[in-house]
Structure 1
Amino acid sequence: MLFASAVAATPTRAAPGGGPAGGQGNGRQSGQQSGEGNGQQNGQKNQQEQVDTEHLFGFSEGAETGQKGEQEVVLDTVTRIGKRRAGPGPSTYRVLDTKLGYQFDPTDGFSIELGAFGDLRRVRTIADLDDKAFGTFDGVSVELKYQFLHASAEQPVGLALELRPRFARVLPVEGNGANVFDMESVLQLDVQVVPGRLWYGANVSFEPAAGRRRGSGGAGFRSSTFLVSQSLVGRIAENTFLGPEIRYLRGYDGTFLNQLESVALTLGPALHHRFTEKTWLTLAYAGQVWGRDTDRAYARRALGLSQFERHALRVKVGVEF
């Protein structure tokens, strides 16, 4: 909550003609100080209102949407690194999932984003996976987001729901060709903990997927993921924000959380910086600090690596217009 400072009145002194010489000066001084105070207050208030939380929290997403007619182009790359080694010698698991998205806002509080995906990977000597090295087009998506609550200085809570139907051509872990449809549903919450200084963001996500593997006699593919993420980001410079992010993930065999395969807990920093009013960059790292697999062969092994990776790095760049 903002407080305007009170302006103290200065004593007047007599003018040569006997009238108060300070009246006009004090009025001007009070007006200037009051104007400066109101300008500073309005500037701080505008600074709060101008913070766009949508891309503020790293892997999590804020509840903010644009105003009617706004558009945005986003290049979003998530690099996934590290799996369980199959045997002696060097091993590699490195996958770059890249999305080029175009977002527009047909009305206030509602946005639509169209996305095209690419998959670039190198896999060598990883348990239960074939060696692979390729890059390919990996499908398209539509993201529909509706904001129920808009955060402001008077009401600090933002709330939105986003649906992300997608068609994919590559299995995310194995890298085999497939025709897969998935539908991620994300509940997005953000709170101005300290107006203009500190924000809290949280996501709850459910993502079922189903399809067919290509070149395997039509073998089916069914999976689902449940995720809860939380982030606390503070302003460390005028246009730079930094804070920790923690994510809890559960991976299942089956489209409706049927059979648990992996559990993982990741932790890492999130950085958001605005170069100009219309261009921005988000960087985030997530390292797995705890996890487990339900497969008996790996029951005593650390981390949940059947469905998730050891490290993930996100680089997201956007231009608004």
Structure 2
Amino acid sequence: MAVQEQMRARIPSRFQSIALCVIAGISGYGGAARAEDASSWRDIETKYIFGFTTGSGIGLEGEKEFTVDSIGRFGKRDGNYAATETKYEFEFTPSQFIQIEFGALGSTHNIGGVTDLDDRNQVALAGGFAEFRYLALERTSNNPLAVTLAVEPTVRRIDETSGERVRNFEFETTVNADLELMRNRLYAGFNLLYEPEVTQMLTGETQREATFGGSAALSLRLASNVVLGGEVWYLRHYDAANLTSFTGDAVMLGPTLYLRFTPKMFMTAAWNAQVWGREIGNPVSLNLAEFQRHRAKLKFAWEF
């Protein structure tokens, strides 16, 4: 019980609200699902319904959207660790096959007593990013599978893990796929991720690393505006962009929630916990050097 109390104290209150949103979604809309006919529901944009896993959807041609997307990472081997990175993002869909996004990054770090990390309590403008998505395979009445290819270059002036001032260049490449298992009701999502990055420290040192992995997710549409599910991620870390210096891996697992408030406003929430991990050369359980004990996602979006 004491450990649980300490963990709750380390997590910002805005991410504690994820659990409340899940409860509200189930209790407020679970009964409605039994009364509604799923065949009458309008198609849902699958991009947002799988939590950290991204679906294939790119929106309707001409659609625009503003989002605030926060990801929190909590828990290291010792001490207190909480870091967030928030995307302030504008996206638009110039054609039925292409979506473009760009925006700024804000970050917070609350670190104390963590081995190899300086104590820090700060809020900062962290950098900027852009994302380009191409719908490579479109879902049709005869084909339940859709696939989107995405690239996301990112420039940071604040390291997302330590909070140090750096020059960081990241180029995330993903394959986002989803499968409609039951019409308008049940969906499976899959991601394949390759994320190389280069970090230049103020000391002049240059670090090269990469993350490679994939995910699987399952989401059930409880009502026309509520989707509840779960996802699992397997992630590998390398000290080289060409994936030749493996340092450790981890498995993250947790629930997801999508809730649409109005036809033009919705939220996505997710929580992942590290359930297995290893650090090469270190016999301890879990991998808390390259990854975190918990991560949370809370995203609000407004379409126009």
Could you tell me the TM-score, scaled by structure 1's length? 0.81
Structural RMSD (CA): 1.3
Q: Give the equivalent residue in structure 2 for 1:26.
A: none
- In 1, the alpha carbon distance for the partners of 2:253 and 2:38 equals 32
Displacement of 1:174: 2.4
Residue pairs, 1:172-183, within 5 angstroms: 172-183=160-171
Displacement of 1:255: 1.8
Structure 1 contact 184–207 (Cα < 8 Å) conserved? yes
* 1:192 pairs with one of 168, 173, 180: 180
- In 2, the alpha carbon distance for the partners of 1:98 and 1:162 equals 19
Q: Give the equivalent residue in structure 1 for 2:41.
A: 47
Per-residue CA deviation, residues 83-130 of structure 1 (Å, 9 max, x unaligned), is: 011xxxxx2100011111000111111000012101100111112211
Structure 1 contact 250–263 (Cα < 8 Å) conserved? yes
- In 1, the alpha carbon distance for the partners of 2:135 and 2:303 equals 19
Q: Give the equivalent residue in structure 2 for 1:59.
A: 52
Could you tell me the TM-score, scaled by structure 2's length? 0.85
Displacement of 1:45: 4.8
Residue pairs, 1:56-205, within 5 angstroms: 56-85=49-78, 91-205=79-193
Per-residue CA deviation, residues 196-216 of structure 1 (Å, 9 max, x unaligned), is: 1100001001000013112x1
Q: Give the equivalent residue in structure 1 for 2:283.
A: 300
Per-residue CA deviation, residues 147-178 of structure 1 (Å, 9 max, x unaligned), is: 01222443211100000011111222222211
Structure 2 contact 38–183 (Cα < 8 Å) conserved? no
Per-residue CA deviation, residues 58-79 of structure 1 (Å, 9 max, x unaligned), is: 0011101122211000100001
Structure 1 contact 262–308 (Cα < 8 Å) conserved? no
* Amino acid paired to 1:121: H
Residue ranges of structure 2 left out of the alignment (5+ in a row): 1-36
* Amino acid paired to 1:316: K
Given the superposition, is the C-alpha separation of residues 188 and 149 from structure 1 closer, same or farther in structure 2, using an over 3 Å criterion? same
Structure 1 contact 151–158 (Cα < 8 Å) conserved? yes
% same residue: 33
Runs of 4+ that moved beyond 4 A: 43-46
* 1:236 pairs with one of 214, 217, 222: 222
- In 2, the alpha carbon distance for the partners of 1:173 and 1:261 equals 17
* Amino acid paired to 1:266: M
Structure 1 contact 261–306 (Cα < 8 Å) conserved? no
Range with bigger deviation, 308-317 or 126-135: 126-135
* 1:284 pairs with one of 242, 265, 270: 270
User: SS of the counterpart of 2:125?
Assistant: strand
- In 1, the alpha carbon distance for the partners of 2:226 and 2:284 equals 39
Displacement of 1:44: 5.1
- RCO higher in structure (CA 8 A, sep ≥6): 2
